């Protein structure tokens, strides 16, 4: 295979600098947990405050929406500029064929249509400004891998394998294929590397282990780490609640965190409030210290929090926002306040006191706040993107 001439194809797809680093997650064969690794890695990066997009590039077997709890019953909306609006789950923007076809309808596509959809998923989606765009590739070395390598300036690829010899041999072929199309290899991950006991947390190596490290050393590519076989990973994926959300302190979540730091550690230093924090408003303790806006500051990272008679004051890099406390309470989207399936509002506004105020605000990763109110309600999570959209008071430009 010759190296692709990417100049023409990239020109056709248009500029993609707003997508940040484009990282492909690949595997030589199926069944190695590549999509699970991609979904959990995306959420881990989002929890670190990065702006993350995820393209489910496995058009024939999309699985990302199910792992992230995204409802695919209705097609995605169209933005005013004609681009598709991605779904958002756990701080990650997502585009998948499953959002267009539903759970039970197969995608029956010939090669040219595969190329068309892949390019659409990247350039015709309203991603906004991203730090990282992850591409969950299908297994193998076919049309999808070649199309993406030819059409977009990939920062690099991560190859996922299991400890089995056959998987490692096929992973080696995948690595060689990526090298032939001039895609830098960012590293190899050994998935299902040992069993994590659900009772004691001890990791037992029931299969061979260390093969991925040996291949990485042989081929001269980075070894990113091993992710243990943890029953919680399966349960969280089936429930649509990623492991970094349900079990952030477990061995597998720590492995994902280490891989995320290796891949994008320099990006994770974007200015913003230092987390974690737990601000007890009544006691006047735990209030996060404000930080100064710098050129690297992103608009969706808060720089300061305050509260006075006017409401909750959030200072962003581009504006200062004041949110009325009752409006904040009414905006809660927890399962008590809004039906998770239909989206119907369950909270009766008349039941919320006019003088309700927040009594505690705490960080949820780097992507959301938790809030306890004076009426006792504390089960809602407020993503930062959601807070920026609340227009209860006129914002002032900074």
**Which of 243, 269, 295 is where one domain is finished?**
269
Residue 283: the pLDDT is 92
Same domain? 198 vs 295: no
Residues 219 and 343 placed together within one structural domain of the fold: no
Asked if residue 304 is part of any domain, the answer here is yes
Kindly state whether residue 126 falls inside one of the protein's structural domains.
yes
Question: For 124-147, what is each residue's pLDDT tens digit?
Answer: 999 999 999 999 987 755 666 666
pLDDT digits (tens, 9 = 90+) for 264-306: 866 655 567 876 789 999 999 999 999 876 655 567 779 999 9
Residue 229 belongs to some domain of the structure: yes
Total of domains in the chain: 2
pLDDT at 12: 39
Q: What is the pLDDT of residue 79?
A: 81
Show Cβ contacts of residue 148 under 8 Å, excluding neighbours closer than 6 positions. 24, 57, 118, 135, 137, 154
Evaluate if residue 104 carries a pLDDT over 70: no
H-helix or E-strand spanning residue 264 = helix 251-264
Last residue of a domain, one of 235, 269, 303: 269
* Domain identity same for 114 and 140: yes
CATH of the domain at 111: 3.40.50.300
Residue 11 confidence (pLDDT): 34
Look up the domain containing 167 and give its range: 14-269
Rounded to an integer, the average pLDDT of 60-65 is: 83
Q: Same structural domain for residues 110 and 210?
A: yes
Residue 326 pLDDT > 80: yes
pLDDT confidence tier of residue 357, bands split at 50, 70 and 90: very high
Residue 175 Cα distances to 23, 26, 145, 180, 218, angstroms: 14, 9, 12, 9, 12
**Res 231: pLDDT:** 78
In this prediction, residue 328 carries a pLDDT of 95
Specify the DSSP class assigned to residue 300. Answer: T
C-alpha closest to that of 292 among 137, 184, 398: 398
pLDDT tier at 107, thresholds 50, 70, 90: low
pLDDT confidence tier of residue 347, bands split at 50, 70 and 90: very high
pLDDT higher than threshold 80 for residue 238: yes
Residue 372 has pLDDT above 90, yes or no: yes
* pLDDT recorded at residue 80: 84
Q: Specify whether 343 is located in the same domain as 384.
A: yes
> Dihedrals φ, ψ of 381, to 5°?
-115, 130
62 and 174 fall within a common domain:
yes
- 206 with 163, same domain? yes
Are 300 and 243 in a shared domain? no
Instruction: Name residue 373's beta-bridge partners.
Output: 358
What is the arithmetic mean of pLDDT over 213-219?
79
CATH code of the domain containing 342:
3.30.2020.30
Highest mean predicted confidence (pLDDT) among 6-20, 189-203, 367-381: 367-381
Residue 303 to residues 269, 294, 298, 318: CA-CA distances in angstroms?
13, 10, 10, 10
Residue 265 domain-assigned?
yes
Provide the pLDDT for residue 30: 62
Q: How far is CA 219 from the centre of its chain?
A: 29
Q: Could you tell me the two tokens for 119?
A: 């390019």
Task: With respect to residue 111, please indicate whether it lies within any of the assigned structural domains.
Answer: yes
Please compute, for residue 293, the number of CA atoms within 13 A of its CA located in the half-sphere on the CB side.
Answer: 13
**Res. 7 pLDDT band, cuts 50 70 90:** very low
Q: What is the dihedral of CA 205, 206, 212, 213, to 10 degrees?
A: 30
Query: Above 80 in pLDDT, residue 393?
Result: no
Task: Kindly indicate the confidence band of residue 116, based on its pLDDT and cuts at 50, 70 and 90.
Answer: confident
Buried b or exposed e, range 293-320, using 16+ CB within 10 angstroms: beeebbebbbbbbebeeebbebbbbeeb
Q: Is residue 6 part of a domain?
A: no
Q: Work out the pLDDT band at 233, boundaries 50, 70, 90.
A: confident
- Chosen domain end from 240, 269, 298: 269
Structure tokens of 196? Answer: 């994590």
* Percent residues over pLDDT 70 in the chain: 76
Q: Which long-range contacts (CB under 8 A, 24 or more apart) does 334-338 make?
A: 334/379, 334/380, 334/381, 335/379, 336/377, 336/379, 337/380
Is residue 95 domain-resident? Answer: yes
Q: Is the pLDDT assigned to residue 179 strictly greater than 60?
A: yes
Task: Collect all residues with Cβ–Cβ distance below 8 Å to 184 and sequence separation of at least 6.
Answer: 154, 155, 156, 157
pLDDT band at 195, cuts 50/70/90?
low
State whether 138 and 265 are in the same domain.
yes
Verify that 310 and 330 share a domain, yes or no: yes
**1 falls within a domain:** no
Torsion angle of alpha carbons 374, 378, 383, 389, nearest 10°? -40
Distance CA 279, CA 288 (A): 7
Same domain, 260 and 293: no
Residue of 172 and 314 predicted with greater confidence: 314
Peptide bond into 110 cis (omega under 30): no
Same domain flag for 334 and 185: no
Greater confidence (154 vs 41) lies with 41
Inform me whether the pLDDT recorded for 2 exceeds 60.
no
| Average pLDDT in the chain | 80
Q: How confident is the model at residue 200 (pLDDT cuts 50, 70, 90)?
A: low
108 pLDDT above the threshold of 60: no
Q: How confident is the model at residue 150, as a pLDDT? A: 66
């Amino acid at each position: 295979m010759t190296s692709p001439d990417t100049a023409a194809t990239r020109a056709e797809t248009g500029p993609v600098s707003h997508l940040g680093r484009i990282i492909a997650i690949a595997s030589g064969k199926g069944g190695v947990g590549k999509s699970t690794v991609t979904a959990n890695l995306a959420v881990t990066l989002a929890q670190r405050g990065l702006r993350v997009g995820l393209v489910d590039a496995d058009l024939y077997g999309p699985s990302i929406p199910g792992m992230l709890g995204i409802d695919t019953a209705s097609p995605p909306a169209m933005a005013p500029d004609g681009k598709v609006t991605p779904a958002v789950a756990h701080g990650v923007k997502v585009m998948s064929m499953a959002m267009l076809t539903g759970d039970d309808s197969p995608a029956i596509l010939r090669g040219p249509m595969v190329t068309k959809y892949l390019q659409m998923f990247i350039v015709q989606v309203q991603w906004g400004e991203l730090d990282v765009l992850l591409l969950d590739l299908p297994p193998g070395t076919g049309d999808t891998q070649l199309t993406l390598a030819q059409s977009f300036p990939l920062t690099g690829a991560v190859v996922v394998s299991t400890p089995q010899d056959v998987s490692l041999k096929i992973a080696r072929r995948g690595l060689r294929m990526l090298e032939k199309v001039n895609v830098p290899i960012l590293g190899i991950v050994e998935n299902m590397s040992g069993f994590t006991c659900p009772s004691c947390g001890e990791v037992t190596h029931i299969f061979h282990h260390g093969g991925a490290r040996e291949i990485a050393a042989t081929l001269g590519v980075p070894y990113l780490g091993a992710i243990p076989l943890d029953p919680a990973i399966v349960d969280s994926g089936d429930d649509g609640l990623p492991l970094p959300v349900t079990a952030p302190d477990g061995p597998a979540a720590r492995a994902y965190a280490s891989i995320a730091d290796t891949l994008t550690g320099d990006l994770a230093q974007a200015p913003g409030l230092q987390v974690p924090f737990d601000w007890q408003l009544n006691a006047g303790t735990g209030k996060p210290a404000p930080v100064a806006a710098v050129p690297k500051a992103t608009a969706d990272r808060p720089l300061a929090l305050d509260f006075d008679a006017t409401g909750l004051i959030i200072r962003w890099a581009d504006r200062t926002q004041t949110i009325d406390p009752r409006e904040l309470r009414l905006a809660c989207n927890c399962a008590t306040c809004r039906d998770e399936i239909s989206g119907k509002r369950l909270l009766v506004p008349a039941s919320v006191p006019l003088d309700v105020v927040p009594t505690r605000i705490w960080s949820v990763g780097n992507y959301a706040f938790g809030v306890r109110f004076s009426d006792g309600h504390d089960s809602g999570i407020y993503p930062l993107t959601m807070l920026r959209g609340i227009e209860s008071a006129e914002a002032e430009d900074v």
